[in-house]
A and B are shown apart, each in its own frame.
Chain A
């Protein structure tokens, strides 16, 4: 028998800082200022050398969820973005691989490789955004790292919900983490025209702790992703939403850039709307930040919120979250 699944705690690092309390209000009224979050050292700074920025931010958030109770048996399902390894290592590798200004594979195989950190691959592997935190916090439950252009993070949240729902784990951590200000990612976003169209890269992570609902909990009622292929964006959004809820009091939108925001706002019509775009475009983290904002809203105001994500691939995703008796 399925159990209702509640959001019990949240943690985030975003352009608004490291708080989640008041996030909805800040987004609704634009009261917070943009900027990169402050760095707070982890307990084991030695591990930093192996971490991408996204992995570091995720580990830091996970540590804040740990305080209070251990997470050893917790599930961990995370939406992750592109690789973000150290460019210093990469530059050194390139510099040592040149002969007369041209790439020499022979030089690359010997001096080039020797010039970069032996564990560079661990910065590059997308799953290490999840694994570094899991290692530091000894998280050992069921898990997955899903690549995300928005919908992937919602798919990760759906897997976490399912894991708690079916008793596969009693606690699941889920959300998304991304660092699109990495020069390679930023260059790709610019090359593909997204920056020209108003996308504003911002590093962020949003994590949610899920557990079986008790009492007047804030419950995730459903998650759905849809394909935008072969139909209009509006039709795809309608498809995703129809699979999670028909009624909602507010919509929290998680778009990638202004065109996606316009599409989601069109769907919302007259329904009150909160957008994550004041935080910048945090790619894989964006839907998680939207869900955290929805949770923050429902803590203060009972009702049902719809979280709507739309990435640059045109694939929408929806999450229905409500506060009420379990």
Chain B
């Protein structure tokens, strides 16, 4: 059985819609901007791959006001609606399963403060009203529930909570369900936003963002890289058996050929420096695809722009491939969308099939010798490739790789 991607929807720093992402990347542009959704001036970093605030009223349906407070809910809904529409789905696809990657709960400081006793440094939970708008935090699966309801799906829902590897794992999970006959159609992908005070603050406390606080702060594989830029957004796909898709007249955008995952099992605060576990994830994905490694024409790297990730990933790539393969990271242009990153980056990778164009690496000007791979610079590279590998490596050491192919 061949698994096909037949629908795609995206919300990213470039705005709403797949076309916005593809056009932005094709132009070699960047969506990184000063944070506008809240006053971040006192934070160590004030830039992000923030979805443009003018895109906020993006839904043509009402959702619970409390749910709308969690930005990833709106992003996930908009992306899922576009994916469903672009795949030409209808009542025949309502039995679809939903496999979606979501980030952690969004906590709302403003809800907690009214019940916070500053003298005792405690929260009086019992004094909290039991109904919204006091919410404290949004449930992890809130976005999934809203997507399920919006599309009126009848299949099971699975929420992947594997941090930055989550959406690549979710899409792989969806492909596996199709392959083994456990589902006919799956809506899958990821949605996340850390562009809120606690999300951004937590990342800053970890020391993950670049301290330079400039629009070109994230420089994957560059000699001057010093950290990531937070991003947000969503990408959702419709996947199904290729024969089923063709029979109903849907246009396949790509086929999902292989996937693999590993864990570093190393440290919470750093990736395994030799990249060995990441290499094995790539090798598993390639082996499952049935293709030789030489058939992979482009690698969409995890490429966070952090001092430790990029050289480890490059070692992994060099270990998995005997010849040099074009590599790029779009995180300099859209930021690190955490649980949604893998899905948005897979959506970006489809440029290779749709426009014979490999996305560039924004802000990359000077290759770090420790990142000795064929890095595509800021300008996209025209090329016709038939297979693409995309990597996602999560905080905590979860590694996921996926291989997609040009549809026949």
Q: Quick check: is A45 within 8 A (CB to CB) of the other chain?
A: no
Kindly list chain B residues whose C-beta atoms are within 8 Å of the C-beta of A135. 264-268, 396-397
Kindly list chain B residues whose C-beta atoms are within 8 Å of the C-beta of A149. 141
Let me know if B201 and A112 touch, CB within 8 A.
Answer: yes
Q: Which of A110, A147, A225 has a CB less than 8 Å from the CB of B102?
A: A147
Q: Which of B137, B263, B284 has a CB less than 8 Å from the CB of A76?
A: B263
Q: Quick check: is A152 within 8 A (CB to CB) of the other chain?
A: yes
Let me know if B156 and A105 touch, CB within 8 A.
Answer: no
Let me know if A127 and B162 touch, CB within 8 A.
Answer: yes
Q: Which of B40, B159, B268 has a CB less than 8 Å from the CB of A122?
A: B268
Q: Which of B113, B155, B265 has a CB less than 8 Å from the CB of A72?
A: B265
Let me know if A139 and B162 touch, CB within 8 A.
Answer: no
- Measured in the bound complex, the distance between the Cα atoms of B103 and A126 in whole Å is 8
Let me know if A142 and B260 touch, CB within 8 A.
Answer: yes
- Measured in the bound complex, the distance between the Cα atoms of B158 and A147 in whole Å is 8
Q: How many residues of A contact B (CB 8 A)?
A: 75
Binding-face segment, A23-31, A180-188, A207-215, A294-302 = A180-188
Q: Quick check: is A32 within 8 A (CB to CB) of the other chain?
A: no
- Measured in the bound complex, the distance between the Cα atoms of B189 and A234 in whole Å is 30
- Measured in the bound complex, the distance between the Cα atoms of B153 and A225 in whole Å is 14
Known: A118-B207, A145-B398. A109 touches B156 (CB 8 A): no
Kindly list chain B residues whose C-beta atoms are within 8 Å of the C-beta of A82. 105, 139-140
Q: Quick check: is A326 within 8 A (CB to CB) of the other chain?
A: no
Known: A91-B121, A119-B268, A184-B137. A225 touches B158 (CB 8 A): yes
Contact residues, B188-228 vs A (CB, 8 A): 197, 201-207
Q: Quick check: is A92 within 8 A (CB to CB) of the other chain?
A: yes
Give A239 Cβ to nearest chain B Cβ, in Å.
10
Known: A98-B118, A142-B262, A313-B145. A147 touches B269 (CB 8 A): no
Q: Which of A131, A229, A313 has a CB less than 8 Å from the CB of B153?
A: A229
Let me know if B160 and A97 touch, CB within 8 A.
Answer: no
Known: A105-B38, A120-B202, A128-B268. A227 touches B140 (CB 8 A): no
Kindly list chain B residues whose C-beta atoms are within 8 Å of the C-beta of A3. none
Q: Quick check: is B154 within 8 A (CB to CB) of the other chain?
A: yes
Give B3 Cβ to nearest chain A Cβ, in Å.
15
Give B324 Cβ to nearest chain A Cβ, in Å.
27
Kindly list chain B residues whose C-beta atoms are within 8 Å of the C-beta of A144. 160, 162, 169, 173, 261, 398
Let me know if B118 and A101 touch, CB within 8 A.
Answer: yes
Contact residues, B129-151 vs A (CB, 8 A): 130-131, 134, 136-137, 139-141, 145, 148-149
Q: Quick check: is B356 within 8 A (CB to CB) of the other chain?
A: no
Q: Quick check: is A226 within 8 A (CB to CB) of the other chain?
A: yes
Q: Quick check: is B365 within 8 A (CB to CB) of the other chain?
A: no
Let me know if B109 and A94 touch, CB within 8 A.
Answer: yes
Kindly list chain A residues whose C-beta atoms are within 8 Å of the C-beta of B141. 147, 149, 313
Q: Which of B41, B145, B158 has a CB less than 8 Å from the CB of A152?
A: B158
| Chain B 38-75 near chain A by CB (<8 Å), digits 1 or 0 | 11111110000000000000000000000000000000
Q: Quick check: is A33 within 8 A (CB to CB) of the other chain?
A: no
For the complex of A and B, the 3 pairs showing the least CB-CB separation, nearest first, are A131-B396, A109-B42, A126-B161
> What residues make up the interface of A, taking CB atoms closer than 8 Å to B?
47, 50, 72, 76, 80, 82-83, 87, 91-92, 94-95, 97-98, 101-103, 105-110, 112-113, 116-122, 124-128, 130-132, 134-135, 137-147, 149, 151-152, 155, 159, 162, 168, 183-184, 186-188, 190-191, 193, 225-227, 229-230, 313, 315
